[in-house]
Amino acid sequence: MDDAQNWHEITLTAERVEALRKRADQHKYDHGHAVVLSGGAGRTGAARLAGRAALRIGTGLVTLGVPGSAQMEVACQETAIMLRRVDDPLALESLLADDRLNAFCIGPGFGVGERCRACVALICGANRSVVLDADVLTSFSDDPEALFALVWNRPVVMTPHKGEFRRLFPDLAGADPRVACRKAAMRAGCTILLKGSETSVADADGGLGVHNPDGKRAAPYLATAGSGDVLAGMICGLLARGFVPVAAAETAAWLHAEAGRRIGAGLIAEDLPEALPAIFAEIGL
Ligand SMILES: NC(=O)C1=CN([C@@H]2O[C@H](COP(=O)(O)OP(=O)(O)OC[C@H]3O[C@@H](n4cnc5c(N)ncnc54)[C@H](O)[C@@H]3O)[C@@H](O)[C@H]2O)[C@@H](O)CC1
Ligand SMILES: Nc1ncnc2c1ncn2[C@@H]1O[C@H](COP(=O)(O)OP(=O)(O)O)[C@@H](O)[C@H]1O
């Protein structure tokens, strides 16, 4: 399916608003436990942004998986977010043994290379919901088929910007972004969110949602370092809360843009998670 006209506009539906609500009889484990894997010392900012976003979007618990070299750096910055030492794939395996840790985010600031590829293989092999962003996408640029074999038919959301998209799907990079996103999702066999001033979300069956198709929800101040890391954390948080991949990606895209629109000029990535409580109040949560 490559019909450029066959798509829906991404909005915040009533059903998704209800799914964001916390009921009085629920406790934190009812809202999931998200894990964001961090890079080493001096490279933890992106994962911390993602973790903060996952917490603000309502995940019950958020843990940052951090190499020993960066533990003090992260511990000095975080309070509500928990910390586990994860130096290597072996340590990740022990985290994966606890099935209460139900959604993962890997890529932001993680570092490119074999350690990254091995961790992605473990998470996907355990069939965990996961957001694959940034350095994960770059780590597989020499062998995209190896990544597609890992994610095929799994609860995965990939979140490339156009540079990362080109590395994984060089033959699609010149096409209309909506068509390219749909073809990429069908090729990879998972949900893909293609970032930009217009954001597309496609699933493996050919479904396609477009955010801001007419430019009326423009949020140009989102073009700032770390804003994509926050989006990855929002999606991960919604996966932990039980949203299916497409719903998590679309809902996060809408909320992320709404936060960007409200903050406007002067926005920095740290502001985005902090804008969520006011948005939630306004939509009736
Ligand atoms: N506070 C932090 O700790 C931050 C950490 N970051 C991390 O820094 C690492 C590198 O990420 P980058 O995205 O900067 O670098 P990448 O190395 O993935 O790609 C950047 C290159 O892609 C090109 N490109 C083409 N189209 C693009 C588009 N639409 N958007 C962005 N770049 C495009 C750029 O020109 C640039 O040369 C990642 O691990 C990321 O998570 C960044 O997210 C920034 C903030
Ligand atoms: N001009 C723009 N208008 C609206 N949103 C934008 C614009 N430029 C970037 N964005 C959004 O900002 C985020 C940037 O993500 P990304 O490129 O991964 O940055 P980073 O890696 O620094 O976090 C994406 O959600 C993207 O859709």
Which residues neighbour 5 within 8 Å (Cβ) at sequence distance 6 or greater? Answer: none
Look at residue 32 and give its three-state secondary structure: coil
Mean pLDDT of 105-129: 98
Q: For residue range 57-97, what is the model confidence (pLDDT) as tens digits?
A: 999 999 999 999 999 999 999 999 999 999 999 999 999 99
Number of domains composing the chain: 1
Rounded CA separation 271/267 (Å): 6
Residue 142 — pLDDT band, cuts 50, 70, 90? very high
Q: Is residue 77 part of a domain?
A: yes
Q: Which of 195, 204, 196, 191 is nearest to 247 (CA)?
A: 191
Q: Is residue 163 part of a domain?
A: yes
Q: How many Cβ atoms sit within 10 Å of the Cβ of residue 28?
A: 11
Can you read off the two tokens belonging to residue 96? 């994966």
Q: Output the pLDDT for position 4.
A: 67
Q: Hey, which of 43, 158, 222 would you mutate to test ligand 2's pocket, going by the most ligand atoms within 8 Å of its Cβ?
A: 222
Q: Is residue 213 part of a domain?
A: no
CATH number for the domain spanning 118: value is: 3.40.1190.20
Q: Is residue 141 part of a domain?
A: yes
Q: Is residue 69 part of a domain?
A: yes
Question: What does R_g of the chain's alpha carbons equal in angstroms?
Answer: 17
Q: Hey, which of 48, 157, 216, 227 would you mutate to test ligand 2's pocket, going by the most ligand atoms within 8 Å of its Cβ?
A: 227
Q: Is residue 25 part of a domain?
A: no
Q: Is residue 89 part of a domain?
A: yes
Can you read off the two tokens belonging to residue 76? 């000095």
| Closest ligand to Cα 261 | 2
% of residues, the chain, pLDDT over 90: 98
Can you give the residue range of the structural domain that contains 166? 32-199+218-282
Q: For residue range 226-268, what is the model confidence (pLDDT) as tens digits?
A: 999 999 999 999 999 999 999 999 999 999 999 999 999 999 9
Q: Is residue 136 part of a domain?
A: yes
